[in-house]
Amino acid sequence: IGSRTDIVFHAFKHNKNNPALFDSDLLDKQGVKRVISILRDSRTRMIGQRGHKGLRVFMKSNSDYLRDKLLLLSEKCYEEIYNDLGSKPTIGHTAISSIIASKPASVFVTGFSFFTTPYTEGYRAYTSSENQLKRFDSSIEGHDPAKELKYFAALVKGSGVKIQLDPYLEELIKGE
């Protein structure tokens, strides 16, 4: 576990404030088979509406890589996740929810802290840990990580899917 990634969920929200780290060479090296994204969102018309021009540039500059690998999450699936949560889900929450909704026999979830910890060193170096942790206080993005954590804990307990968690997540959902 943790040595291979077959699927990557990516928001492709690409603008000057969010450079949407995407390294196709690294993904190839890691053997990523599919990249899943949400390009349409009826509530915002387009993910990253303010960064729509940046998104088009990003897609064009990565079109050769994405041609064979890109899958789009259905608008219906995204809407169900949005409605169940009651707020705009992060790409991580969308990934977890859509995977569990597909009813796999089992799933191992690791690396999620629902923004209770800073980013890993070197990831999104353009923002400080303090800014990253506070960005949701004012609902800049419309996301609510605390609500996502409660929703996730309910999924773990009641989805009917065998969900194995890393030790940090096990501890994190105990109080939910």
pLDDT for the residue numbered 46:
41
Q: What is the pLDDT of residues 66-94, one digit of tens each?
A: 777 878 788 888 888 988 998 888 888 99
Give the integer Cα–Cα distance in Å for 123 and 109.
Answer: 20
User: Is 81 exposed, middle or buried (CB count within 10 Å of its CB: 0-12, 13-18, 19+)?
Assistant: buried
Band the pLDDT of 119: cuts 50, 70, 90.
Answer: low
Q: Long-range pairs for 20-25 at CB < 8 Å and ≥24 separation?
A: 20/58, 21/123, 21/124, 22/58, 22/62, 24/62, 24/65
Q: Taking a C-beta distance cutoff of 8 angstroms, is the pair 48, 141 a contact?
A: no
Q: What is the pLDDT of residues 7-20, one digit of tens each?
A: 888 776 654 555 45
Question: Which percentage of the chain shows pLDDT scores above 90?
Answer: 24
pLDDT for the residue numbered 44:
43
Give the integer Cα–Cα distance in Å for 156 and 18.
Answer: 31
Q: φ, ψ for residue 162 (rounded to 5)? A: -75, 110
Q: φ, ψ for residue 53 (rounded to 5)? A: -65, -40
**In what helix (H) or strand (E) does residue 34 lie, and over which residues does it extend?**
strand 34-37
Task: Give the mean pLDDT of 130-135.
Answer: 56
Q: Is the pLDDT of residue 33 over 60?
A: yes
Task: Let me know how long the chain is.
Answer: 176
pLDDT for the residue numbered 29:
83
Range from 28-32, 98-102, 158-162 carrying the lowest mean pLDDT: 28-32
pLDDT for the residue numbered 47:
45
Please indicate, yes or no, whether the overall pTM of this predicted structure exceeds 0.85: no
